[in-house]
Amino acid sequence: MTAPLTPSGSDNTPPIAPMRAFERTHHGVTASDPYDWMKDRRDPELIAYLEAENAYAAARTAHLAPLREQLFTEIKGRVQESDLSVPVGDGPWWYYSRTIEGQQYAIHARSPRVKGEPRPDIEAGRTLPGEQILLDGNQAAAGHEFFAVGALTVSADHRYLAAAIDLEGDERFAVTVTEIESGHVVDAAIAGAGYGLQFDASGRYLFHIALDDAWRPHQVWRHEIGTLADRDVLVYQEDDERFWMGIGGSRDDRFLMIGVGSKTTSETWLLPADDPLGAWRCVAPRREGIEYDIEVDGDRLLIVHNTHNPEADLAAAPLTSTDPADWVPVLASGPGERFLDIDTFEAYAVLSLRAQGLPTLRVLPRDPGSPTGFGDPIDWPAGGDLNTVALAENPELDAPVLTVVEESFVVPRSTYDVDPLTGARALVKRQPVLGGYDPGDYVESREWVRAGDGTAIPVSVVRRADVVADGTAPALLTGYGAYEIPNDPYFSVARLSLLDRGLVYVVAHVRGGGEMGRGWYDDGKLERKRNTFTDFVAVADAVRGRWADPARLACEGGSAGGLLIGAVLNLAPDRFRFAHAKVPFVDALTSMLDPDLPLTVGEWEEWGNPLGDAAAYEVMASYAPYDNVGRTDYPAILATTSLHDTRVLVTEPAKWIAKLRTHATNDSTTRPILLHTEMSAGHGGRSGRYDAWHEIAWDWAVLLDQLGVG
């Protein structure tokens, strides 16, 4: 055992965490873990260590206070602080949210609507006539350091609002039901719920999700409004620990839906919304490796599924079907496509898909004379090279136009009302960016880099227009690469503060993500996980000397992307000047060996089961960042985390930083290793918008300082 925790002092001495003898043996392999004692996030000694690390980080970055304030002021100065979202028409109401200058959280509200009337004009800072406030986040958050809304659900008759609120950051929600007209809380019986709330057709019952001890949503309960929780009725329980679940409703409001899924297999259950006490019906029993999503389409179901094609196809089946043998092909995905989801409307259906590495939409016009019920598909008009296109909220089946959102790295989020059959469109709102922002001052482009095995890796490059590819600019390389989650183009006001200082922002769309479809994901998971890391290094090598000054290249990733950063730093520490790992999953092997931890069992299909499979253990042990920290020069490192994170426990970055302190051979005066923990936050960091901007400013001040940019 080492000496007790050494706190930082005026000489900026880094904290040294105690080391305690601990060994684990699996598959004949014994590994030492001297920081295993950190596994209890409530341990006062761990809290003391985190506080000491915070003090050290504060001391090492105290000189950056003016830069932090400047960055915060820039971000705040570009935001329309008093603003109004695009109102969404649903029955007799327009639903929207608005923000007020100086207030941290949104106000959720509605105002009366006559169906068929034009959408109200959106004017920043105003309220709509006859406004009724559903939830004022500022009032609900009063007296709390953290506040997050997990769900806001209105009953079909628009009488009740069910709200799920988290005041800790641990993603367990207290649920209240309010009578909107009177503002009277009629129910507050449900506590500790997971994500997802759904009323029945009458508004008498509310269905909610319960979590097990490992934070896995595993039960659906029916709650009668106004009664105690001990009278709730269990309607579904999932005993297979690989599976998670969600609760929702069909677009036409006729059915309640329970979706159950692992990383590779799914199952859907239906219940008529007007028969809340009835029996749920399984659309198709789970089959290992088969995933499907459904939408109710009149007297039939539309089903996106991967039964015969890993990139998924679209099928139809009778509404009452319970057998996949009933599924009739409607549309097959083509080369370079990945079907994702289907939404139905009176005159058409809209398919969400990925095509050539980007998200887009495809319209299927109704044609009663066609065997499939649809005419020839209409592809969404091609936008910029890096456009992200998605459906906005469209709750009404008979809406004359479709509301769609588009954005890119340089074009702010834009909402359009579109006639999907003719392509006619009207801009409803573009995210305001104050200070004279001109998209023409910036350039975004798609490039391709060859990985070691010859695979072409897509790379997004964003820069100010006057930055040229001469290898002299500072640059930030980011990535994710897990869970088939794509790292799609999105606009960020905050990112402008980097671009305006001459940084080149680069996204490596590495394998393991979903950018190029299911095959892209499969090629970066389980025994092929190493591809994720070598792809990132290949992109770093291509960027160095072309866009980036080799001495001023930084990298960044969060959560599973933090695992990417940790693994890459062990693999190629000399490629980077600075690394930021956000809520990083860096002790992956230890976590996957403990089935009692949140997420573990369900993650075995992503990473492998090192507890029961020696080969999986060997693969994970070969790349897990914590286990592979070496005695070598590392770049400057900042790890940021939150005490109440239940997805990646604070233990992981704490152990990683502690081990780096004893192994890294670089000069800590010029390349410090820092850990900063938010003591009142969860996986997403601080919750208030001003707090979040301060958090970004803190992180980016460290980045800019390390790259020599003021």
Q: Domains (ranges, CATH) in the chain?
A: 23-76+436-706 (3.40.50.1820)
CA atoms within 13 A on the CB side of 65: 5
Query: Which mean pLDDT values do the consecutive 10-residue runs of the chain (710 residues) have?
Result: 42 87 95 96 94 96 97 98 95 96 97 90 81 97 94 97 95 96 96 96 97 92 96 97 95 96 96 98 97 97 97 98 97 96 96 95 95 94 86 93 96 95 92 96 97 97 97 98 97 98 98 97 98 98 97 98 98 98 97 91 95 97 98 98 92 98 92 94 85 96 95
**pLDDT of 215:** 86
**pLDDT of 646:** 86
**pLDDT of 125:** 65
Checking DSSP bridges between strand 504-508 and strand 473-478, what pairing results, if any?
parallel
Both tokens assigned to 130: 């006859």
342 in helix, strand or coil? strand
DSSP string, 78-94: HB-SSEEPPPEEETTEE
Phi/psi region, residue 27 (left: phi>0; alpha: psi -120 to 50; beta: rest), is left
Closest among 335, 339, 368 to 351, alpha carbons compared:
339
**pLDDT of 213:** 87
**pLDDT of 9:** 41
- Give CA–CA dist 374/363, Å, rounded: 10
**pLDDT of 4:** 43
Nearest-10 crossing angle of helices 614-623, 560-571: 70
**pLDDT of 444:** 97
**pLDDT of 11:** 53
Both tokens assigned to 474: 């500072």
Both tokens assigned to 505: 């922002």
Q: What is the pTM of this model?
A: 0.95
The dihedrals phi and psi of 528, each to the nearest 5 degrees, come to -105, 15
- Residues annotated as catalytic are 559, 645, 683
**pLDDT of 473:** 98
For CA atoms 444, 445, 450, 456, the dihedral sign is: positive
